[in-house]
Amino acid sequence: MRIHLTSVFVDDQEKALRFYTEVLGFVKKHDVPLGDTVRWLTVVSPEEPGGTELLLEPSGHPAVRPYKTALVDDGIPAASFAVDDVRAEFDRLRALGVYFTQEPLEMGTITTAVLDDTCGNLIQIVHSE
């Protein structure tokens, strides 16, 4: 069994697509209209184009806003992405104007940092040795 798809709820799919592709570096995989205002919109890592897809899911369900607000208020990331070097990725993203709620933090063999994806989520980047 493998993870095929996971999702993050986003306030604006177009804004999320720009952030996740132009800033974070993912590539668009699927973009299928589902009515007038929403799409089945997924991105993947350019390193694994056939790998796990991230669905940029609209935040339309009434339970989503309180859920996302509670996570952000408590500083809990909605997703975690592996990187080769947290400090280098932190520096690259910060130079692009990305806001971090947690600067790189070393915890034994794991280093993490947490950023705001501009679409209502905190996202963790992580490297473990």
**CATH (domain of 17):** 3.10.180.10
Residue 11 dihedral angles phi and psi, to the nearest 5°: -75, -30
Give me the number of domains the chain comprises. 1
Structure tokens at 43: 């991105």
Average pLDDT score, the chain: 96
Q: Tell me the per-residue pLDDT of 15-62, one tens digit each, with 9 for 90 and over.
A: 999 999 999 999 999 999 998 889 999 999 999 999 999 999 999 999
> What's the domain range around 103?
5-128
pLDDT at 102: 98
pLDDT at 129: 84
pLDDT at 20: 98
Structure tokens at 55: 């669905």
Q: 0.85 exceeded by the pTM?
A: yes
